[in-house]
Structure 1
Amino acid sequence: MYKTITIHTRSTYWTHKETNEEYSVVDADDLAKDIEIHCNKLAIEGYDVISINPITSGSFSNGNGYVNTESVIITGKKK
């Protein structure tokens, strides 16, 4: 038996000093805490974590392309 959990990332924004453009940056510390919490919950429920996969999406703006981590999927397998 398998179980999956999706964690949606939260982003913070910063403004480029020269162009005043706003950029979205994934809050990695917050995401790491969420992953740890959910992996520990799976372990308590009797699952082994078998994968943690990022789900990304890309954008193109002003001649620049970039990719953001939108969410993370954690998959566990019952022991």
Structure 2
Amino acid sequence: MNKVVHIPAFFEPVGKEKTIKLPTGEKKKGLFGGEKDVTRKETRWEQTGWSDSRIDSQRLAQDLAEAVNQLNEEGFDVVSVTPITSGAYDWAYKTGTFVGQGEGGYGYGYGYGYSFTNSLIVTAKKRA
């Protein structure tokens, strides 16, 4: 008996470093006699979205390890791990005419494409 498991890949989180002020719990006297919280600056990474081209390979490896362990516990041996790829692309083409040049024109274009691992297919066979 065989078993097939699909493991989806997820895109990598993207973000930026952000400086925030954190209270230290201490107080200091203000200019006009009032008390003021003492703060310190700390830089933290803040997620702003998800990559549109980079796969979170650490998460994919962890998900694969969990799937293989689960299959082993159920009495299966992994036969193969097959990556499934997807792709993305974009292109543009523009034309125009030269002003004051009479009959004549120009055009240019560009295009790009790339592929990425969309998921993994794990095939396993029941131990005899």
Scaled by the length of structure 2, the TM-score of the pair is 0.52
Q: How many Å apart are 1:9 and its aligned residue?
A: 0.8
Q: Distance in 2 between matches of 1:26 and 1:39?
A: 20
Structure 1 position 76 matched with structure 2 position 124: yes
Look up the equivalent residue of 1:33 and give its one-letter code: Q
TM-score of the aligned structures, taking structure 1 as reference length: 0.82
Match of 1:6 in 2: 6
Distance 1:14 1:66, change over 3 A: farther
Q: Greater helix share, 1 or 2?
A: 1
More strand by share: 2
1:39 alignment counterpart: 68
- What is aligned with 1:66? 114
The count of aligned residue pairs is 73
Q: Max radius of gyration: which structure?
A: 2
Deviation of the 1:42 alpha carbon: 0.5
AA in 2 matched with 1:24: S
TM-superposed deviation, 1:14? 4.8
Code of the aligned partner of 1:54: P
Report the counterpart of residue 24 of structure 2 in structure 1. none
Q: How does 1:13-52 map to 2 (within 5 A)?
A: 14=14, 23-52=52-81
Please identify runs of 4+ aligned residues in structure 1 that moved more than 4 A.
none
What percent identity do the matched residue pairs reach?
A: 40
8 A Cα contact 2:11 2:52, kept in partner: no
Q: Which runs of 5+ in 1 are unaligned?
A: 16-21
1:53 aligned residue (82, 90, 95): 82
Unaligned runs of 5+ in 2: 16-50, 92-110
RMSD across aligned positions (CA): 1.8
